[in-house]
Structure 1
Amino acid sequence: MLRKYLFLLILVLVGNIAFSQSKLVTWDAPLGTVLNKDFTVKVRQPGGEWKVLSTYLIKVDEVRETKHHIEDASMVTFDFMGTVEVAVTYNKGKVNTAKVRPLSYDIPFQIVDNTVIFSLDCPRNLSVEVNGDIFHNLHLFANKPEENVPDKNDPDVIYYGPGIHEVDNGELKVPSGKTVYLAGGAVLMGRVLIENVNDVKLIGRGIIDHSIKKGIWIANSQNVYVEGIVTTQCGTGGSNNVTIRNVKSISYYGWGDGMNVLASNNVLFDGVFCRNSDDCTTVYGTRLGFEGGCSNITMRNSTLWADVAHPIFIGIHGNSNKPEVLENLNYINIDILDHQEKQLDYQGCMAINAGDNNLIRKVRFENIRVEDFRHGQLINLRIFYNEKYCSAPGRGIEDVLFKNISYSGKNAELSVIEGYNEERQVKNVRFENLRINDRLIYDEMSDKPAWYKTSDMARIYVGAHTEGIVFLDSSSAMADGH
């Protein structure tokens, strides 16, 4: 009898633990929000009731030849813990093919009639694409549940509950010491300006409407934390100690850079998603009234999709009269879904273009997976004098590590590594475990003709005024002490 009682108690406890670790939170879009009917999206815990998600209209930029075309895409968002099942029904016709990206997540799915069905067991920021259409796709943002939701009655909290919210003059200026909370189901019709303040938070599961340019702008501020918001852009200038976590940036208009960093230090991007109509993320020195170099900038666990220009771009802007340094820049565990740029001067999934007497050093690209992009280069490291944007060439690019970089595809043009003159060189660039279409590229590879440069095997042009460009595999890197 005692054993039976203990057995039943264990079953109850295990059931309670499993229940406590399972959670699904959804929100309805507020009345008046513009939705998109291309998809019907449902989500449920295994065996539970399906919940229909509100599918928001968002806009993206498609470049055809040299012309920009604004296209209507879709977006859903929800929170969960444990495991959920997702059903994405395509309402415009038959599903012949589908993709759930990033491909590196290797999410299995089924196609049943016109519905794509898959499961998730951890938070993901995804693109669901039907019949090869990347411009009318579904952006699916599955978050972990919120922790420590602020009290709406706290005088230091600016609280926006579900609904559409207008702000005076289209701009919410956040005072020091305040927390702005956008609840799930909240849509803010205005920019959030964090300027000349300190100790500020902007958190929640709400949305800054897709029509709002420069949705989040952090300027000359200290100790800023932004988490969970969907917006158009999230720029940081002249600031220190900034963390941007699980923020989604989608833009469609000209100069729609995603997450710029200008003249700032100690900036962390963690788990962000950027699909932008210009560079996804940049690091610059002096620019737009912000002055100084940059140090300790990290982006990790993130997804980048450049409908125009670069996924990652470093170094073109600075102060030629008072030369600056951009250093300790880290890009770790990143999926690059697309890169589209026909202008040869502005290509490169991972691009460092030193201008304005900038010295760029100690840059790390690690565990980066690049899917087959539409048009551009994998890598572009140049010291150049671009008279359109610079008043001088850069001083140098030094100590750059590319570790565990993979590219799968056929559309990449010739990559470039090139200095400017004997005084302005690209030095000490190290490739460890570079894989092109699953082929490991390294100096001692057996199938490289003796008269080839290793860079030829990777279709990387290494030009003049460069030194210390090496390609290693894991074993040779370890033997070399790295």
Structure 2
Amino acid sequence: MLRLLLSALWICVLAGAVAGAEVNVAGVPQGISLNDDFTVKVRPEGKSKWVLVPIYLVKVDEVRGTKHHVEHASMVTFDFSGKVDIEVTYNKGKIDSARVRPLSYDIPFTIEGNTLQFSLEKPANLSVEVNGDIFHNLHLFANPLDTFKVDKKNPDLIYFGPGIHRFEGGEFRIPSGKTVYVAGGAVMMGRMLIENGHDVKLLGRGIIDPSVKMGIRIANSRNVYVEGLVATQCATGGSDSVTIRNVKVISYFGWGDGMNVFSSRNVLFDRVFCRTSDDCTTVYGTRLGFEGPSSNITMQNSTLWADVAHPIFIGIHGNVDKPEILENLNYVNIDILDHKEKQLNYQGCLAINAGDENLIRNVRFENIRIENFRQGQLVNLRIFFNEKYCKAPGRGIENVVFKNVSYTGNRAEISIIEGYDEQRKIRNIRFENLRINGQIISDDMPGKPKWYHTGDMARIYVGPHVENISFLNTFEK
């Protein structure tokens, strides 16, 4: 039985003087944790009236040495169209320096005292950081206008309005054929479960409370569409034809992977944001009760921030008794804001580690921008036997393209590309326009001694059992 508690809530809609400019801001129910480190206001361009945006408290994981510490950060979310002005006031003191990330967005801003201002003309998932503090930052999720029309007479619609929603057993199971809409200002105090279902939609601008682990779970289902929510995790297992769009996840607890894929096909992530206390996104075979390979997985137009472990991780889990293939995996137009991992065995912003007899092939990393992460490697491609998690090494890694991948920074440790033995090799690895601090790394690059491996110029160790690796500069052709 569903028990529902609604609290007083306001929603502000402000139309701008500029045609099409509009801002929608939903309030927060009483009893939800807020954070007063910042004050955030927004307005359509050309309007004088500011709208105050409520600020949620979210938890993030800071690793100091080998210990984990939970820190309190901030989050705001609103919808808009047209062009909007945003004002962020830092309530803890003066702003000496600031960043609005991803840096590739190149968003200009002004600072006056303890207030920062900038404008947006299109939706964006941002991190506003003051005085170099990334653990008490402001996560600013500026969404497109929500155009979904709520028809409460529709028998296939399940509507959760503004307020706090609690569920017996700590979860809400979504039946097949249903659309669940979670309105802005709604806070779900249990996970949203799509299990053994089909033709399901989960939409809205609400949030799953940060206390709820695995806030969204898709299991053994098909034809699933999830859009717009904020949660701690969003995992897909044993499923086919899944789209996850403009979903934001922030985790702080152990094993806090963001968007895992297990034994699934035809999964699309578009415009997602992951800041996680373990891997941001993964692709595995057989694992945790899900059986079979994974294929046709795409993540695009997204932002990844790994406070622990990998931003992108592929391949460690599978079925040694019935070897699997993980294939046709695409990562396109992605910003990686951070990577922090002290354990050498688990480093790599772009990591493919073949274990459990997996064969991993046809992987594409394209238009990936990697900022100056705290600790780890740029690339880690290995066929290995990790006895903690695997029963056997992987079979191989084949046909991997890194196209227009850039890294700007000075903290990357030595990257690794290494096979296992003569039967378990890495083959056909192509780097096109790999750019390290502005310099393109290629086999014919100026200044490279003939006796050097090209990987040496990028601090990439190319070990044994690797065949046909190339570094190309296609900009010059």
**Which bin holds the TM-score, normalised by the shorter protein?**
over 0.9
Number of corresponding residues: 462
Find the counterpart in structure 2 of residue 23 from structure 1: 22
**One-letter identity of the residue aligned with 2:24:** V
1:155 aligns with 2:155: yes
Q: Secondary structure at the match of 2:455?
A: helix
Find the counterpart in structure 1 of residue 462 from structure 2: 462
Deviation at 1:156, TM superposition (A): 1.0
Find the counterpart in structure 2 of residue 59 from structure 1: 59
Find the counterpart in structure 2 of residue 37 from structure 1: 36
- Deviation per CA, 1:205-252: give whole Å up to 9, x if none: 000000100000000000000000000000000000000000000000
Deviation at 1:153, TM superposition (A): 2.9
- Deviation per CA, 1:114-154: give whole Å up to 9, x if none: 01100000000000000000000000000100123332332
Does the aligned pair in 1 maintain the 2:17–2:45 contact within 8 Å? no
Does the aligned pair in 1 maintain the 2:419–2:426 contact within 8 Å? yes
Deviation at 1:47, TM superposition (A): 2.9
Q: Secondary structure at the match of 1:345?
A: helix
Equivalent runs, 1:291-370 vs 2, <5 Å: 291-370=291-370
Deviation at 1:158, TM superposition (A): 1.1
Q: Secondary structure at the match of 1:212?
A: coil
Closer, same or farther: CA 23–95 of 1 in aligned 2, 3 Å: same
Find the counterpart in structure 2 of residue 277 from structure 1: 277
Bigger shift: residues 41-50 or 232-241: 41-50
**One-letter identity of the residue aligned with 1:176:** S
Does the aligned pair in 1 maintain the 2:21–2:45 contact within 8 Å? no
**One-letter identity of the residue aligned with 2:108:** P
- Deviation per CA, 1:421-441: give whole Å up to 9, x if none: 000000000000000000110
Deviation at 1:20, TM superposition (A): 4.7
What is the alpha-carbon distance in structure 2 between the residues aligned to residue 265 and residue 106 of structure 1? Answer: 35
Does the aligned pair in 1 maintain the 2:16–2:45 contact within 8 Å? no
Rg: which structure is higher? 1
1:225 aligns with 2:215: no
Where does structure 1 differ by over 4 angstroms across 4 or more consecutive aligned residues? 16-20
Does the aligned pair in 1 maintain the 2:40–2:89 contact within 8 Å? yes
Find the counterpart in structure 1 of residue 6 from structure 2: none
What is the alpha-carbon distance in structure 2 between the residues aligned to residue 363 and residue 21 of structure 1? Answer: 40
What is the alpha-carbon distance in structure 2 between the residues aligned to residue 61 and residue 149 of structure 1? Answer: 37
What is the alpha-carbon distance in structure 1 between the residues aligned to residue 158 and residue 411 of structure 2? Answer: 48
What is the alpha-carbon distance in structure 1 between the residues aligned to residue 148 and residue 350 of structure 2? Answer: 37
Q: Secondary structure at the match of 2:406?
A: strand
What is the alpha-carbon distance in structure 1 between the residues aligned to residue 196 and residue 335 of structure 2? Answer: 34
What is the alpha-carbon distance in structure 1 between the residues aligned to residue 160 and residue 93 of structure 2? Answer: 38
Find the counterpart in structure 2 of residue 430 from structure 1: 430
Q: Secondary structure at the match of 2:60?
A: strand
Deviation at 1:21, TM superposition (A): 2.0
Deviation at 1:19, TM superposition (A): 4.9
**One-letter identity of the residue aligned with 1:300:** Q
Deviation at 1:475, TM superposition (A): 4.8
Q: Secondary structure at the match of 1:422?
A: coil
Q: Secondary structure at the match of 2:190?
A: strand
Does the aligned pair in 1 maintain the 2:19–2:82 contact within 8 Å? no
- Deviation per CA, 1:365-397: give whole Å up to 9, x if none: 000000000000000000000000000000000
| TM-score under structure 2 length normalisation | 0.96
Q: Secondary structure at the match of 2:345?
A: helix
Does the aligned pair in 1 maintain the 2:17–2:44 contact within 8 Å? no
Q: Secondary structure at the match of 1:137?
A: strand
Find the counterpart in structure 1 of residue 10 from structure 2: none
Equivalent runs, 1:201-240 vs 2, <5 Å: 201-240=201-240
Identity of aligned residues (%): 70
**One-letter identity of the residue aligned with 1:96:** D
Does the aligned pair in 1 maintain the 2:42–2:50 contact within 8 Å? yes
What is the alpha-carbon distance in structure 2 between the residues aligned to residue 168 and residue 287 of structure 1? Answer: 28
Find the counterpart in structure 1 of residue 167 from structure 2: 167
What is the alpha-carbon distance in structure 1 between the residues aligned to residue 17 and residue 263 of structure 2? Answer: 47
Q: Secondary structure at the match of 2:402?
A: strand
Find the counterpart in structure 1 of residue 7 from structure 2: none
What is the alpha-carbon distance in structure 1 between the residues aligned to residue 445 and residue 140 of structure 2? Answer: 41
**One-letter identity of the residue aligned with 1:444:** D
Bigger shift: residues 266-275 or 446-455: 446-455
Find the counterpart in structure 2 of residue 71 from structure 1: 71
What is the alpha-carbon distance in structure 2 between the residues aligned to residue 17 and residue 266 of structure 1? Answer: 40
**One-letter identity of the residue aligned with 2:198:** N
- Deviation per CA, 1:284-334: give whole Å up to 9, x if none: 000001000011000000000000000000000000010000000000000
- Deviation per CA, 1:322-351: give whole Å up to 9, x if none: 000000000000000000000000000000
Find the counterpart in structure 1 of residue 45 from structure 2: 46
Tell me the C-alpha RMSD between the 2 structures: 1.2
Q: Secondary structure at the match of 1:26?
A: strand
Q: Secondary structure at the match of 1:134?
A: strand
Bigger shift: residues 444-453 or 393-402: 444-453
Find the counterpart in structure 2 of residue 118 from structure 1: 118
Deviation at 1:18, TM superposition (A): 7.8
What is the alpha-carbon distance in structure 1 between the residues aligned to residue 237 and residue 149 of structure 2? Answer: 28
Find the counterpart in structure 1 of residue 12 from structure 2: none
What is the alpha-carbon distance in structure 1 between the residues aligned to residue 153 and residue 101 of structure 2? Answer: 40
What is the alpha-carbon distance in structure 2 between the residues aligned to residue 398 and residue 128 of structure 1? Answer: 39
Find the counterpart in structure 2 of residue 13 from structure 1: none
**One-letter identity of the residue aligned with 1:330:** N
What is the alpha-carbon distance in structure 1 between the residues aligned to residue 440 and residue 219 of structure 2? Answer: 43
What is the alpha-carbon distance in structure 2 between the residues aligned to residue 151 and residue 416 of structure 1? Answer: 54
> Gaps spanning 5+ residues in structure 1: where?
1-15
What is the alpha-carbon distance in structure 2 between the residues aligned to residue 190 and residue 459 of structure 1? Answer: 45
What is the alpha-carbon distance in structure 2 between the residues aligned to residue 371 and residue 17 of structure 1? Answer: 35
Find the counterpart in structure 1 of residue 9 from structure 2: none
Find the counterpart in structure 1 of residue 253 from structure 2: 253
Find the counterpart in structure 2 of residue 411 from structure 1: 411
What is the alpha-carbon distance in structure 2 between the residues aligned to residue 281 and residue 167 of structure 1? Answer: 28
| TM-score under structure 1 length normalisation | 0.95
What is the alpha-carbon distance in structure 2 between the residues aligned to residue 133 and residue 20 of structure 1? Answer: 37
Q: Secondary structure at the match of 2:189?
A: strand
What is the alpha-carbon distance in structure 1 between the residues aligned to residue 257 and residue 79 of structure 2? Answer: 27
Deviation at 1:17, TM superposition (A): 12
